[in-house]
Amino acid sequence: MARTLVASLLALSSLTAVQAGDIDGTVIVKRVLTKRKVTPTLTSYDRGVHVDLGSDQETDPIAAERARVVIYLEGSLPSKSINVTLEQKNRRFVPETVVVPVGSTVSFPNRDPIFHNVFSLSKTSSFDLGNYPKDQSRDVKLSKPGIVFVGCRLHSNMGAVIVVSPNQWSTMADSTGKFTLSDIPAGSYTVVAWHKTAGFFRKTVQIEDNRPTQLEFFIPLDEIGADKTVAKR
């Protein structure tokens, strides 16, 4: 009886493994979408300890745009919370964009020798972490999916975005535009690509087996407003 049960469980496990697949995708961006950050005017607050403002170090601005694209699956699916870090360094947030599954925690360590005050007025998550100095950190748990815009009350040039995905299948494209979502259970899904300037792009895909599904996002839409996003097996 025990052997029969073990065999059944192994068969079920094997079937589950087969009935899953990956999405191998590409983000295509052909023009710059993000404005370069400009050094803000010096204020009375900044006349104490001098902290150089970090600058955009982008040798390939198109590659940088691809790497700003977040991709995730829509829907209330299984989710594994994670912990990520958004540093405050050289009067900037580093990195400027992160994606986390719902239920995750984001830490905001201050690496500058001045005070920062991290806050958000976003509907997804509204918070104010107060003023705190170098080498201190504050945490925020994100319990709702959506877009969280983050700023610093003491430095208006500082800004970051946290994309809270509704499940564990989320990622960001690399500088070449490539991304992968792995081990997705069989079924029909809507894949979302999001860029801070260009907005949301959606495509429906069908995951049927362990063969990868190829997906392509063209960001933004073309000159006549046509969506060139395609999905193919």
Write down the domain spans for the chain: 21-36+50-78+173-233, 80-165
Q: Which of 8-44 are b and which e, b meaning 16 or more Cβ less than 10 Å from the residue's Cβ?
A: eeeeeeeeeeeebbebebebebeeebbeeeeeeeeee
| Predicted TM-score of the model (pTM) | 0.81
Tell which CATH architecture fits domain 21-36+50-78+173-233.
Answer: Sandwich (2.60)
Beta-bridged to residue 219, according to DSSP, are 29
Characterise 86 by phi-psi region: left (phi > 0), alpha (psi -120 to 50), beta (else): beta
Distance CA 27, CA 57 (A): 21
Q: Do domains 21-36+50-78+173-233 and 80-165 have the same CATH topology?
A: yes
In 173-212, where do the E strands start and end?
178-185, 187-195, 199-207
Region 80-165: CATH code = 2.60.40.420
Question: Is the link from the previous residue into 220 a cis peptide, with omega within 30 of 0?
Answer: yes
pLDDT of the chain, 233 residues: tens digit per residue: 445 444 444 444 444 444 789 999 999 998 888 876 654 555 544 544 666 665 555 588 999 999 999 999 999 888 899 999 999 999 999 999 999 999 999 999 999 999 999 999 999 999 999 999 999 999 999 999 999 999 999 999 999 999 999 999 999 999 999 999 999 999 999 999 999 999 999 999 999 877 789 999 999 855 444 444 444 43
